[in-house]
Amino acid sequence: MAHTSFWEGKRILVTGGTGTFGRAFIKRLISISEIERIVVFSRDEFKQNEMRHEIKDPRVDYFIGDVRDLARLERAFNGIDIVVHAAALKQVPALEYNPLEAVKTNIIGTQNVIDAALGRDVGNVILISSDKAVYPVNLYGATKLTAERLVIASNAYRGKKGKTKFSVVRYGNVIGSRGSFVELIEKQKPSGIITITHEHMTRFWIHIDDVTKIVTDILKCMEGGELFIPKMKSLKVVDVVEMLAPKCQVEIIGIRPGEKLHEMLVTEHEVERTKDAGDFYVVLPEFRSWKTKDIFAKNKSFPKGVQYVSNDALFLVPGTKAKSIFKL
């Protein structure tokens, strides 16, 4: 019997498909010839129109819709095998001022994705999360933490005959994403002054190409209930400025409300359940009321006594090696 590719005949939908991750992920998907259909689901008609002109692949369809609208999601999920849920409100100050909007999109919207996926018997569902979900200090992080818990717990509702599997991918700063620190540097360069909030601040960094590759790899191995975390390196923000704007002066403006000095990707509570899976770590579910294969149980455990935090010497890269992370 001939071997069938995982992607053979697959129909994939991406919520937030016109965002930084969505656009890059869809470009990766169209390079996989076996995929039958790709659906871009987002509420931004202008960005969808831009994508239509940029991406000519006939397998790509566009749905205007909001994850707050369950009926629209149910319609869009008809015949879909895989859902990658990347739609979210992310701007910290804006969400602090408009908290209920964050709840409606990031929490209720995620629950709508779950309900629609279960109702349409979608195969795999992955939530795109953030390091802000770890010990959150702002509303955005709190909504992403809640979304993570909703997604993982939803494995219990697929029933004996249901096939839907839910997992989460959590990572740090994406190099070149919209509204990112890198974008801020480019905007401030002409002034000759780059503002940073603290001279000792550190952040995890990952290139968008690495994110999209890892997500495609995870889709092929997930069993449901796992929290996947790419292996990432961190840099001091001052080293990022030195690399990208070496002729500019640095001005310290102080840590903003809702901002951390350092970021963490795995909590102390999660470390005991964290396994090494090569390019990424896997946090196994703490509460499991569903039957599934535990394919990562025998993998090497996360190093004892180590915290996956951005200022830990194990992950912090000297400024002299920053270009290797940014692929410059």
Asked if 40 and 26 touch (Cβ cutoff 8 Å), the reply is yes
Closest CA to 61 of 71, 47, 76: 76
**Whole-number average pLDDT of the chain:** 91
Q: SS3 string of 251-284?
A: EECCCCCCCCCCCECCCHHHHCCEEECCCEEEEC
Domains of the chain: 11-174+207-232+264-305 (3.40.50.720)
Which are the contacts of 146, defined by CB distance < 8 A and separation ≥ 6?
Answer: 106, 107, 110
Asked if 284 and 276 touch (Cβ cutoff 8 Å), the reply is no
Q: Tokens 């005949």 label which residue?
A: 9
Residue predicted with more confidence, 206 or 159? 206
Asked if 83 and 16 touch (Cβ cutoff 8 Å), the reply is no
The predicted model scores a pTM of 0.92
Digit-coded pLDDT (tens) for 270-295: 999 999 999 999 999 988 877 777 88
Reported as a pLDDT band with limits 50, 70 and 90, residue 176 is low
Res 292: pLDDT: 73
Q: Is 195 in a helix, a strand, or coil?
A: strand
**pLDDT of 326 above 80:** no
Asked if 164 and 118 touch (Cβ cutoff 8 Å), the reply is yes
Mean pLDDT value of segment 80-105: 95
**pLDDT of 179 above 70:** no
Neighbours of 226 (CB within 10 A): 30
Mean pLDDT value of segment 223-245: 92
Res 320: pLDDT: 77
Catalytic residue, from 132, 165, 260, 275: name it. Answer: 132
132 catalytic, yes or no? yes
Which are the contacts of 43, defined by CB distance < 8 A and separation ≥ 6?
Answer: 64, 65, 66
Mean pLDDT value of segment 146-173: 91
Res 4: pLDDT: 66
Asked if 17 and 85 touch (Cβ cutoff 8 Å), the reply is no
**pLDDT of 249 above 80:** yes
Lowest mean pLDDT among 61-70, 117-126, 151-160: 151-160
In percent, the amount of the chain with pLDDT more than 90 equals 68
Lowest mean pLDDT among 172-176, 179-183, 214-218, 263-267: 179-183
